Every structure is written in C-alpha cells, then in structure tokens.
A and B are shown apart, each in its own frame.
Chain A
Amino acid sequence: MTRTHASGFTLIEMMIAIALGMMVVYTAIAGFRVASQTITAAKRLSLENSLLRSGYFEAQRQLDFWTNLDDPTALDTERPLKRTGNPADSSIGALNSRDYSMKRGLPFTPMRALQSEGVWPKSPGVPRFADPKTVNGARVGTIMPRDLSFYPPPTSANSNDALEADTGFDPSYSWSPHDPRTWIRVDLSGKERNWVQQQYVRNKDANNKDVTDPLYPDKYVHPDFPEHFPLVYNGRYILFSNPENSGAALPTFRIIPDPNKSPLLLDGAMADMNNKMVEITYSGYPTAGTHTWYPHQMSRLINAMGYAALCEYLPPNSLYSWYTLVSTRGDRTEGAWFNKFGMHHDFEFCNDNGGQKSARGIWRQTYPSSYGYINPRAPNDFNVYPAPDPPSPVATDKNLRQRFYARYKSDNDTTDPNGGNAKQLNWFITRTGLQEPLMVERPQNWPEVKVSVARFIKSAHHVAVAKISRFSPMTGELIELSWTGLGTTLRGARQQRLPTTGWAHWDNDPGVTNDPTLDSP
C-alpha cells in the first residue's frame, strides 16, 4: 500500500506558524514603533534641550552685556534707558526738582551729556590721572588711587580746597577709604530731635492751641523761639558734610541734650532737672559749605542714574546722608525734600522700617525694600502697584525715570488682604525680570523658551537673577531654571558702551587709543 505524504502544512502547523509569524511581525512592528517613537521623543527633547541651551547662552550674554536693558548697537531713539541729555529735552528737569517727571535716572545716560548741561561740572584745577604708565610692556594704571599726602588734612573744613570742591565723576579715580573726602561726617547715633522735643515744648495761643510755624505748618513753635524749633540731625556734625554755600551766618542752637526726656520748662512730673537747654554756637566755623565732595558725588550720581545705579557706583560702605543749606535761617538740617535723602522714610530712598531720621547705609535701605532696573519693555501697569505719582498710561522715559526712583517693598506682608507688600514684590520681580521670548517667531509645535535677567538690590546684595522657562506645547510641561549669575555690573556695562552707538573697545596695548565710554567725562 502506498502511503501518501501530505505536501502542505497541517492545520495545526499553519495555526502555529501563523501565530508565531504574527508574533514576529507584531514584535517587529512594535520594535519599529518604539524605535520610531523613541527617536521622535529624542528629537523633541533634543530640540527642547537645544533651545534651553540657547536660552542659557542668551541669559549669560545678558549677564555679561546687559543687552536686555540696552542694546548699544541700536539708535538712541530705540534705547529708552539712555538719553543724550539734549538741553532742549525739558523732561530732564532741574537738579532738585521734586517733580517725578522731571528727574533724571536713566542708567545708560552718558556722563558727558549731563556735564554739557551743567549737571555734572568738573572743578577746574583738579588733577586727573589721564596718563597711565607702561609697565612690562602693558599700559597700566588707568584707575588710580591718590596717596594720602595728596589730600588736605582730613580735619580741614576748607571748602575752597580744589579736591573738596570737585563735583565731577572721574572714571580714573578710585574711591578709596583712605581718602578723607570719602569719609561721611555724621554722628551715626544722631536722630532727629525735632519731633520728640515738640511733644513737650509747644507754644500755645490764647485758645491754648499749639502754634505752628507759618513756613512749616506741621512744625510747632517753641515758646522760647520766634520760629519753629530747629531740626537737628546728628548734632554738630551737620556742619561737616554740606555742599551748599549761602553765606548765611551760622545760628546758635539751643537743644535739649536728651530729647527723650522732658525738658525742665514743661511738666514738672516728667521733668529732668539735669536735662536743661544748652546753647551750641558755631563761631569760628566757615559759613561756606564744608566737605562738599561726598555729598556732591552722591547728589550727582542719583540725578544721573537713579537709586539702583547710585548704589552700584558708590562703595558698599557708603552712608546715604548729607546736609544742605536751604533755609536762610542757617538751619543746615532742613531744606527741600532732596536734602533729607536717605534719612527720612517719607522719601524714596529710605525704607519704611522705622521713622528714625538717622544716617543709613545700604543694608538698612534695602532689606525691606528693593531698587532695580525695570525692563523698558515691561507693561506700563502702574495700577498693579501704584508707582510714584503722577501715574501715566504711556510708557515714556519719564515713567522709566519714575520707576528708577521708586522703591518696592520686599517684605511679605501676608496680613494685607490686598496682597500688600507681596503684591508689590511680585510686581517688582516680574518687571525687573521680564520674561521675553528667545525667538520672535517659531513653529507652532516648537517649545517656547523665555529668558530674563533681573537686576536689583536686596539686603545690600546686588543681585542678578537669570531665569529660563521652557513651555512645551506638546506636553504642556513648563520648566523653569533660575540662578544668580555673576557678570558685568552696571559700571562695567557703561564702560562697554560708546557714548554714541556701538561697543567701546578697550585694550592695554600702549599703542592703542581706547574708545570713550558712557562714563567718559
């Protein structure tokens, strides 16, 4: 019997083969799909990482060149933080104007522009160090300290001294602690006596009402004085840092040694028999302004570039206080608003921590408040946090100046139902650190990367906070990277820029002529 062999597969074989084949095909397809998805995901991540890296380098560029605030290659008309100081520009305003719209305060305004309009004059006869030496082949010494013997005796109050009378910013001069001109002459423990004394010492009229000074309605009149009781900040030291020269005779002050105790002439129960009025005379002191350099440097810098820049240009141990003579009565303590700069919490460069009118340094000024550089492209939304009046709906250089003069509270006051200080702080951070897109245009499915570098002062620290954010439209994922960067400071940024347009070239090759900068006199 012939046995017939099957030439094909049996059903079971077929089923097994098909099943195995499907598994193979499925595995291959799955492998392909996984590989394909992996590559797609890798490409997406690669793109996102690439954009993040670009954001990182953009942030580093901003940290080193301040290009987010001022592009030196742009025309002046496109540089809102720079003004050329054209005398015809009335918005520049008068030196001591209280009108916020009239102040200076733009951080990239050339010193030369301010000088040409008389804001930043230089005293004639003051030696400058314009001829650096060549040592070991290199040009050196473009910024020079002067040796102590160069100066008049530190105790001298001779305002006619050329060095004291100097008012100009000198980029070649090193503001050194050994220089007597840099010493602030105040009594750090001195506070305003006016308020406390007047709680006890008031003149009464026929109706037993307090009599106030007609010139100063908020000041009570002392029974012993025809005018209001003189404000005395920091005692006798008020004489020694005063830029004004009115020629007025210095008055005799009668003060109570301890303003916290009642003087003898009032309530007997509170009187301290030893706390008697004493007379302080200033005979023998010059009537002209004394030790004028320090207050001039500060007043000019604040007018030139605003508070934040002032803090960057001054050494960190500066005490923001000086005195001017405005009253014809010879009261060297009170004048226009500007004169109590740094001493009174009502004024802008003074935080709300206590009302002591004492000389304050950078830490005291900046621990509950911050000062910074507002991005000129930030929204002009003063209504979020009312900026100094008058508010303006239009973003102009006037607004920017106001902002540079404004302080923003940085304490987190959670008790305020309206958000209080936290709201102000948020406003401040988002305006100094305005997040701007890395790319003006991008494919719709590409990640959006934004970059910012916020610069401000907080608790005596000059901070530059760089932030990169990346939003993925595919996944909805948002990543933020932030760090405090070290890089060019404002003065460095100004030295990088030509007074006109473009970058300033600097070299230490003696054969090279260096370009002028925004700080050039």
Chain B
Amino acid sequence: MHSSISPRSGTILIIVAGISALLAAMALTFLVQMRSDVEESQFVLQHAQAKLMLAAGCNYIQETSRVGWDRSKDSSATPPVPVVDGLRIHEEAFGWVDVRNGKTGPLNRAGASLMGSDTTKWPHIGTFVRCPMFVRRVPPYATTLATGSNPILTKDSSSPDYTYPLMRYPDPQPLENLNAYDHASPGSVTDARYDQFAKGDPTPLTASQGKAWFRIFRDGPATFIITCGSGATSGFKDWGEMSTIEREQFPNREFFYQLKATELRLHYRVEWTAAGVETSYHNLQHEIARTHDHYESWPPNASHAWSSSRRTQTWLKSPVGTIRWIQRLVTEPTFW
C-alpha cells in the first residue's frame, strides 16, 4: 500500500517537535528562574516596606506627643474640655513626658489626662495602638492642591469686595468640597459638613490594602515598642486577640495564619524625648543674619552651609520632640 505521507515529513516533524520541546524546556527554566527571582525580590520589597513602617511609627510617636487629642467635638469628655471665649478649645498635649513637670502624658494644658479612663486602652502604659497603613479614599482634613491666587479686586471701587484683603475666599478648600463651601454664601458651611471634612472617607483604596502596618506598644512613659509589619494581617498579633467584628476582616482563622506566615515582622524599641534640635546664640544672631529676618537668613531647606552664605536651619526646633534611640530587638518580645 502506498502511503501518502512521506517519511521525510515525519523526520521534519520529529526535528521540529524536538527543537520546540527544547525551546519550551529552556523557556520553562527561564520562567522558573524568573519566578524564583521575583519571589526573592518580593522579600526585599517586604523588608523595605517594614523599614518604612519604622519611620512611620517614629513619626506617629512624635506627632501624637502633641496632637491628636482634640476632644472639642466630644461634649461628654472627661475631664471637661477647657472653654475659651465660649468655645471648646482644640486641645494639644505637652509630650509623653510632660515638659512642664515630668508627669506621664499626654496631659492637657490644665494638667488633666487625655488618656481616657479605661486603662486598658491606648495610650495608657501597657497598651497598644494598631495602625494598618492603607490609603484612605479621603484622608481627614484633606484639601485640594488647587489653590487659588485669591486676587484682590482693585478695579471696581463700588464693589463691596473692592480691595478686600486676602482670604476673602479662603483656600485651599477641602477636597471634593466636603464642607460645601459656597463663595456666594460663606455661611453655607455647616457643622455636619465640616465634620465630614474632618473625618474624610476612611474607606480603604483596595490596591493599598494588605501591604504594611505598624503597631506601637507603650512600655513606659516615653518608651515604646514599634512592630513593623509587611503583610496583610493588619497588625493583629494572633487570632485570639481579635474581636468578633475584627475577625470579619478575614475569611477564617486558617487564612489569617496563612497571611501571618508570609508576613515579615520587625520589632524595635525606641525612646521619645521632648528635646528638640538645639539652637544657640550664634545661629540666632550671627553677624550675617542681623539685617535679615532669622528664618530668611537661615532657611530650613538650604542644602549646604558655609560662611557668608545662606545657611541651613537644620537645628530648627522640633515641636514634637525627637527619638533618642532605636533598638532592633533581637527576639520578639512577649508584649507588643
């Protein structure tokens, strides 16, 4: 029987198939190698993210030594919010160790504690705060970058706005006009809308979730353990410490521990001090500075300094204190 398929065709098929298989094998090896590299690179990324959380944690400690304790909207606050000119003031604290008397802070200007009565809750000593670092859809007090020039009307002398000073139409305005400000009727800003502006929209942006978090345990008046996490557990230590509502963030216990297993956690201990960066007479009253305003002659953002030139003001006083020391803990502490 005469075959219609030439033996040569089979040979070519074998050769082509062989070469293809070889190329496919090489491609597969290549892809496996690349995948391995990417996985290892992922760990580099995780480590970098965790280190960023150390900076975030230190910033959190520094800033909350002074701000973040505003109770002006809480009418039932205890102790009562001080009232000035009939208005409940926006309170600030005076440090984790109060700079006025060395007592444990945060204390308000009257010396009353801003920590609340529940000693098991942050920021009491022996408690922690958990900070998953996702991006909110609208951060609190978010403003637009589109600032206006606020021009002064100088052409129409009959206008009630003629030569009206700056800030006639204050800017920058809240993002998405959350306070419903209307140029025509500035009184349109209501308390409710202002609250919305103050609160923002805490809904996380999906792409930013599950990346990194930090958690701070206050282990003394001014010492803290910062745990830096790079992963999706949102800073929960384990399943047991979560409330029922908190557990709803995760499908189940096993999934949480799976996330935890792939997560990187670094533990640091730091000490905060109210001491800011120094200033000295020489800086304030140097001969080249006498004819200039102090901040003009010594700008904070100059890159370098030498005699007879403008100098950096890197010794600028820090209103939120500084971190005295940082210690990476060799082992995981029991409480964090």
Q: A residues within 8 Å of B by Cβ?
A: 28, 31-32, 35-36, 38-39, 42-43, 46, 49-50, 53, 56-57, 60, 64-65, 132, 135-150, 174-179, 188-189, 312, 315-319, 353-354, 356, 358-364, 367-368, 411, 459-461, 485-493, 495-496, 503-509, 512
Contact = CB atoms under 8 A, between A and B. Distances in A.
B153 interface: no
Given A362-B315, A460-B277, A496-B328, A138 B222 contact: no
Interface in B96-131: 97-104, 119-120, 124-127
A225 to B, nearest CB: 28
B278 A361 contact: yes
A43 B27 CA distance: 12
B163 interface: no
A486 B266 CA distance: 13
B282 interface: yes
A32 B23 contact: yes
Contacts of B26: 35-36, 39
B22 A145 contact: no
A139 B336 CA distance: 11
A132 B305 CA distance: 46
Interface stretch (B33-41, B185-193, B208-216, B244-252): B33-41
A35 B27 contact: yes
Given A137-B335, A174-B97, A460-B315, A188 B280 contact: yes
Interface in B300-332: 305-307, 311-312, 314-315, 318, 322, 324-331
Contact of A492 (B19, B327, B333): B327
B281 A486 contact: no
Interface stretch (B79-87, B199-207, B267-275): B267-275
B314 A489 contact: no
A179 B99 CA distance: 9
A459 B280 contact: no
A505 B334 CA distance: 12
Interface stretch (B47-55, B132-140, B144-152): B47-55
Given A460-B314, A504-B330, A49 B37 contact: yes
Contact of A42 (B34, B41, B329): B34
Contacts of A132: 220
B51 A316 contact: no
Given A31-B19, A135-B125, A141-B125, 17 more contacts: A39-B29, A137-B126, A143-B222, A145-B102, A147-B103, A174-B221, A176-B273, A177-B273, A178-B97, A315-B273, A316-B276, A317-B275, A317-B277, A319-B280, A361-B278, A491-B327, A507-B331
A363 B282 CA distance: 10
Contact of B273 (A49, A174, A487, A512): A174
B54 A486 contact: yes
A132 B221 CA distance: 11
A149 B273 CA distance: 19
B255 interface: no
A356 B282 contact: yes
B328 A38 contact: no
A363 B311 CA distance: 11
A364 B124 CA distance: 38
Looking at B33, B34, B97, the one whose CB has the most chain A CB atoms below 10 A away is B97
A491 B282 contact: no
Contacts of B220: 132, 140-144
A60 B97 contact: no
B47 A60 contact: yes
Nearest to A490: B325
A140 B224 CA distance: 10
A189 B285 contact: yes
B110 to A, nearest CB: 16
A185 to B, nearest CB: 14
Contacts of A32: 19, 22-23
Interface of B: 15, 19, 22-23, 26-27, 29-30, 33-34, 36-37, 40-41, 43-44, 47, 51, 54-55, 58, 97-104, 119-120, 124-127, 217-223, 225, 266, 268-269, 271, 273-283, 285, 305-307, 311-312, 314-315, 318, 322, 324-331, 333-335
Contact of A56 (B44, B126, B306, B329): B44
Nearest to A485: B51
Contacts of A312: 325
A135 B273 contact: no
Contacts of B34: 42, 46
B222 A174 contact: yes
Contacts of A512: 334
A363 B102 contact: no
A178 B329 CA distance: 29
Contacts of B282: 188, 354, 356, 358, 360, 364
A147 B221 CA distance: 11
A356 B46 CA distance: 50
Contacts of B311: 367
Contacts of A503: 330
A364 B101 contact: no
Contacts of B55: 486
Contacts of A506: 269, 327, 329-331, 333
B305 A367 contact: yes
A42 B33 contact: yes
Contacts of B126: 135-138, 140
7 contacts: A38-B30, A136-B124, A145-B102, A149-B101, A188-B281, A317-B275, A492-B326
Contacts of A359: 280-281
A488 B267 CA distance: 11
B280 A364 contact: yes
The 7 A-B residue pairs with the shortest CB-CB distance in the complex, in nearest-first order: A492-B327, A361-B278, A135-B126, A315-B275, A363-B315, A188-B281, A136-B126
Contacts of A38: 30
A136 B127 contact: yes
B189 to A, nearest CB: 40
A361 B23 CA distance: 68
B328 A492 contact: yes
A178 B30 contact: no
A49 B335 CA distance: 37
B335 to A, nearest CB: 4
Contacts of B47: 56-57, 60
A270 to B, nearest CB: 21
Given A138-B219, A178-B101, A486-B54, A43 B33 contact: yes
B60 to A, nearest CB: 14
A495 B97 contact: no
B229 to A, nearest CB: 16
A363 B278 contact: yes
Contacts of A318: 275, 278
B269 A492 contact: yes
Contacts of B23: 31-32, 35
A46 B311 CA distance: 46
Nearest to A187: B281
Contacts of B325: 312, 489-492, 495
Contacts of B330: 496, 503-506
A507 B273 CA distance: 22
A368 B282 CA distance: 15
B314 to A, nearest CB: 5
Nearest to B307: A353
